[in-house]
Structure 1
Amino acid sequence: MTVDRRRLLGIFGVGAAAAGCATAPEPPRAPGAPGTGGAVRFAHGVASGDPDATSVLLWTRISAAEDGQRLRWQVARDLAFGRIAAEGLTDTSRARDHTVKVVAEGLQPGTDYWYRFIAADGTGSPVGRTRTLPEVSSAEPVVLAVCSCSLHPNGLFNAYDAIARQETLHAVVHLGDYLYEYGAAPTDYGMVNGQRLNRIPEPPHEIVSLADYRARHAQYKADPDLQAAHARAPWIVVYDDHETTNDSFDVGAENHQPDEGDWAARKAVALKAWFEWMPIREPRADASLEAATYRSFRFGRSASLHMLETRLMARTKQLDYATDFYTAGPDGQPVADRVGFMAKLNDPSRRLLGEDQLAWLERDLAAAARAGTAWQVIGNQVVMARVTAPDFGALIPEATLNAVLASLPEERQQSIRSLISLFGQNVPLNLDAWDGYPAERERFYGAVRRARARPVVLAGDSHTFWVNRLADAAGADVGVEFGTTAITSPSPADSLGLPPAFANQAVNDANPEVAFIDFQPRGFVRLTLTPERARGELMAVSTILEKPYRLDVLKAWEVEAGPRGVTGPLRED
């Protein structure tokens, strides 16, 4: 989601909330392994990810100038490491930025484990906690923390700290925008708070090279709240656009310019750094990095999780209102052409998943449904529900609009006025979301229906809490969607002078698929799944500007499992 689009649309995400007066109890911070100096030697913490019933991936990075490092890793059934379940040796080097990945195998299903790394000089890493997936016959409840969009300069990672404090947590599902590519100029995204909090991007310019992306990953993983969340439970991750650059698609990106080099080269180094620094299994020798990100996980009979790649592999370039809604008139001036725009929008050749990924998804959904798994959870980057833009032009007082626009350059004022004029013409709110690819959405819904799946779609990117009831073009129910707000990334809801509550009501009133929306909070979704029901709790932190903070359940919504392929009514709890 582009910075310009945030200003233009003025609807997705949120700024800092008011300061809270309390915080949750301190989570357990496990001691390090034998030796001293772990905070220096292992300055970026530990992480685990991509669990299955008998194995899990372990990650760390050793801070070392010299090349060629050997480490010991251990997995234990207890915090004291008295009952070792798996151990071994592994190597790292400058070629992979001294990051370390190992797959610990031979573990028991549905079991909590503790893990650590030990350098050759005896220095121990922090200790992490992880968990394997349950047996396929297990009916135990599954608790997931769903998060996205952590803009480091814009605020403290209090929501990550809150995730680390969760008493019960089986996995963290991160839907992308784990980091952002922007620089440290005063006008760069998030830098008003960045200067206030002294959270200055490293390096202090837009990241383009491999060294740049590695340095930005290192800055993020040096954050203690993020380290604590990684050490709390296994993560299941996928990237969105900012891990490369804003509004990326298969052959380019809005925020990639010709003077920044070749797009394919930039994408390659960004993905190389992402795979080095994230707790995701390495791709097979015959798979691309992009294809390695779509994959499935089975949480017993309660749920299967299917992570999608919607950004770099098959996505057709986004439409843009500024260029695609207008044609040249007789005098050469642009003339609105809604009919032509809608024809472009509904072009069946516009793709988001692509044929191969869609075929894979249908197979995995069908297999999970046949096996009796209650919920097929879709880890997806962008909002899937149909969301029409409200007629903000009829809702915003002219004096308010003039006051907001007065601080912007003249050309930006004109572009915002042009966009507002469009928002009374029954057009999508966000062309970067599934609304920009309606034919692909219908193909997705067809795959879900043929698989007789019972989908719970997860969405990030929007910096907004959503609870949506999904329906196809004919109005038939498909499933439900829980959209998570951002960890820290800001909301532009105020950029048009709209109080968040007013914007919430305007979007809700204009869209029958939207059951609930809130632009204001920062936080995450706590999703609890059993064979009988799915429950989404919208978890909001009270501030991203200071500590302590307060964590509250903003709203909770539930849906019951109906017959195979059918979800019950969505209701607020």
Structure 2
Amino acid sequence: MSMNRRGLLGLFGAGAAAGCATLPSGEDVAVAFAHGVASGDPATDRVILWTRVTPEVGQAGPVSVVWRVLEAEGDRVVATGSVMTGPERDYTVKVDAAGLKPGRDYRYDFAVGEARSPLGRTRTLAAGGMAPVNLAVASCQLHPGGLFNAYEAIAALPSLDAVVHLGDYIYEYGAQEDAYGMATGAKLGRVPQPPHEIVTLADYRLRHAQYKTDPDLQAAHARAPFICVWDDHETANDAWMHGAENHQPETEGDFAQRKAAALKAYYEWMPIREAEPGALREAIHRSFHFGDVASLMMVETRLTGRIEPLDYAKDLTAMEGPDGEPVLDLDAFRAKLNDPGRDLMGAQQRDWLKHELSASKARGRPWQVLGNQVVMARVAGPDVSRTLTEAEVEGLMARIPEAYRDQFEQALFLFRMGLPFNLDAWDGYPAGRERLYAVFAEAGVQPIVLSGDSHAFWVNELKDAGGARRAVEFGTSAISSPSIGDAIGGFPLGAALMQANDEVRFCDQSAKGFILLTLTEDRAEAALMQVSTLFAKPFEVSALKQVVLIRADGAITGV
């Protein structure tokens, strides 16, 4: 299918022009709706509606914004109201629009005086029944990394219940010549704003604002409700409860203050339901039920229960070998890795998840789905010395760009020892993963696990330490963030990971795009959708791979 944004924007523009003639006016001030509209966190009777008004320069007071919800067709208004916004929340607007009917499509918009927003589409959750559920699964959208062509493709989908976003909605890096993604960003004119690494509330707000000026992201938000969780880059790379790899207290201050600023901006700028009064703002795990077909549990694995990730450079130490030469102390490292205290979810969230999974099964829903941030499968790095000759390895190294050659050579050395491919994923927390698998077993379910973060496509069969199958994992690649496969030339890393790991049934480390997950009473189909380019329009979108799971007599077959 060939994609071109012109026709898509024309569709939304025509709807907006036709639907706004009778919208009541708000306060008579001059504003623009430069960041589009969005909806999120749908329920059977309500949905979050979002926009942001941009006042004229020099105008800094409060603004009254009128909102309305219309039926999918025609001009009948089914809900309306007004809300105040101002500089205290960066002029963002968030409405929990209630009184809607289950399983319905709606349109919505906003107005301030004569200024009117684009028209958005949203959908409530079905209260029951076995209507098919269509979910687009997205993650990792580095603005300098390339055009958001995948979002244009998502916006054009003919049937879509929700977009499940698994995190890395923004990135914190600056615009230095050697900053992440800037080799591409400089060529495309996609330069981060502000141009430095974001640390303060003003910084995070401006970065969110820049992302939401992207027309393809705006089109996707206007197409269907988003169900979102954050990963690490919404705060800083490789974040955990009390710090991050990309946070230096000596120059960037207290991490808790930076995290608070990041979360305030996130809640302002994202169509996510606000935390209950007194609740921990980091605890955004929550459930969504799509009729009698599926339950979606969004989990949080960064800021509420994750202890500090291990790091090979810091935690894999040397000891004196038999001949007096230093050797790596693998036993000591594996003891750290397998420490029973290593966790990234926490007991409270696991208890919540067990209850939700058990309740979904008791209701008779055939599918339980986890919206999870990082790859869950057991994935050891590939030992290429077992499959390539010495000459082939030398040829491989010659093809690796010089900037990555030393790093890649070190990784290949470590992978000969069967060490994990990624310590920031569930592989860095094996005891916590076993506790999670025990929850699956106790609830009597084998869920579909959705994963982001890796910038790669995955199909994995998840097994516990005893070899019992506990879940199936579909990992989505990035919308635009660079992949390891991009950096190492033509080396077939995905194929090497498949060969080295029993749980990895499919892996592609280069393609970019999203997953289209379709769920029916007895069938789950995951289409790994790739875009042909991140650097131009028009582009092509196609299914890189399609996987079908069949549920019959309580058992799942496939993968």
Q: Which TM-score band (shorter chain)?
A: over 0.9
1:74 corresponding residue in structure 2: 68
Instruction: Write out aligned runs for 1:175-254 (5 A).
Output: 175-254=166-245
Distance in 2 between residues matched to 1:491 and 1:274, nearest whole Å: 25
Pick aligned residue for 1:388 from 372, 380, 384? 380
Query: Per-residue CA shift, 1:313-344, capped at 9, x if unaligned?
Result: 11011111112122343899853011111111
Deviation of 1:311 after TM superposition, in Å, equals 0.7
Does 2:140 match 1:149? Answer: yes
Does 2:556 match 1:567? Answer: yes
1:324 corresponding residue in structure 2: 315
Q: Letter of the aligned partner of 2:65 in structure 1?
A: L
SS in 2 for 1:493: helix
Instruction: Write out aligned runs for 1:509-528 (5 A).
Output: 509-528=499-518
Distance in 1 between residues matched to 2:278 and 2:326, nearest whole Å: 48
Q: Letter of the aligned partner of 2:107 in structure 1?
A: W
Distance in 1 between residues matched to 2:303 and 2:378, nearest whole Å: 22
Instruction: Write out aligned runs for 1:160-179 (5 A).
Output: 160-179=151-170
Does 2:104 match 1:111? Answer: yes
Distance in 2 between residues matched to 1:548 and 1:192, nearest whole Å: 22
Contact 2:384 2:393 in 1 (8 A): no
1:312 corresponding residue in structure 2: 303
Deviation of 1:392 after TM superposition, in Å, equals 3.6
Number of equivalent positions: 540
Does 2:89 match 1:96? Answer: yes
Distance in 1 between residues matched to 2:78 and 2:325, nearest whole Å: 71
How has the CA–CA distance of structure 1 residues 563 and 21 changed in structure 2, closer, same or farther, with 3 Å as cutoff? closer
Distance in 2 between residues matched to 1:522 and 1:274, nearest whole Å: 25
Q: Letter of the aligned partner of 2:63 in structure 1?
A: Q
Contact 1:393 1:421 in 2 (8 A): no
SS in 2 for 1:386: coil
Q: Letter of the aligned partner of 1:272 in structure 2?
A: K
Does 2:552 match 1:556? Answer: no
How has the CA–CA distance of structure 1 residues 479 and 321 changed in structure 2, closer, same or farther, with 3 Å as cutoff? same
Distance in 1 between residues matched to 2:30 and 2:84, nearest whole Å: 20
Contact 1:493 1:519 in 2 (8 A): yes
Q: Letter of the aligned partner of 2:71 in structure 1?
A: R
Deviation of 1:243 after TM superposition, in Å, equals 0.4
2:354 corresponding residue in structure 1: 362
The runs of 5 or more residues in structure 1 that have no matched partner are 1-19
Q: Percent identity?
A: 52
SS in 1 for 2:218: helix
Q: Letter of the aligned partner of 1:541 in structure 2?
A: V
Contact 2:163 2:224 in 1 (8 A): yes
Q: Letter of the aligned partner of 1:190 in structure 2?
A: G
Distance in 2 between residues matched to 1:38 and 1:216, nearest whole Å: 26
Deviation of 1:26 after TM superposition, in Å, equals 2.9
Instruction: Write out aligned runs for 1:227-376 (5 A).
Output: 227-258=218-249, 259-291=251-283, 293-329=284-320, 335-376=327-368
Deviation of 1:553 after TM superposition, in Å, equals 1.2
Contact 2:399 2:488 in 1 (8 A): no
How has the CA–CA distance of structure 1 residues 332 and 285 changed in structure 2, closer, same or farther, with 3 Å as cutoff? farther
Distance in 1 between residues matched to 2:286 and 2:537, nearest whole Å: 37
Deviation of 1:123 after TM superposition, in Å, equals 1.2
Query: Per-residue CA shift, 1:467-499, capped at 9, x if unaligned?
Result: 111111111111211100000001122434443
Contact 1:561 1:567 in 2 (8 A): yes
Deviation of 1:405 after TM superposition, in Å, equals 6.4
Deviation of 1:118 after TM superposition, in Å, equals 1.0
1:26 corresponding residue in structure 2: 7
How has the CA–CA distance of structure 1 residues 495 and 392 changed in structure 2, closer, same or farther, with 3 Å as cutoff? farther
Pick aligned residue for 1:536 from 526, 529, 551? 526
Deviation of 1:31 after TM superposition, in Å, equals 1.6
TM-score, structure 1 as length reference: 0.90
Deviation of 1:452 after TM superposition, in Å, equals 1.3
2:451 corresponding residue in structure 1: 459
Q: Letter of the aligned partner of 1:561 in structure 2?
A: R
Distance in 1 between residues matched to 2:437 and 2:230, nearest whole Å: 23
Q: Letter of the aligned partner of 2:370 in structure 1?
A: I
Superposed CA RMSD in Å reads: 2.2
Contact 1:24 1:165 in 2 (8 A): no
How has the CA–CA distance of structure 1 residues 299 and 470 changed in structure 2, closer, same or farther, with 3 Å as cutoff? same
SS in 2 for 1:215: helix
Distance in 2 between residues matched to 1:38 and 1:147, nearest whole Å: 37
Query: Per-residue CA shift, 1:88-126, capped at 9, x if unaligned?
Result: 11111111000011111111000000001111x221111
Moved more, 192-201 or 63-72: 63-72
Q: Letter of the aligned partner of 1:354 in structure 2?
A: G
Q: Letter of the aligned partner of 1:199 in structure 2?
A: R
Pick aligned residue for 2:36 from 38, 45, 51? 45
SS in 2 for 1:53: coil
TM-score, structure 2 as length reference: 0.93
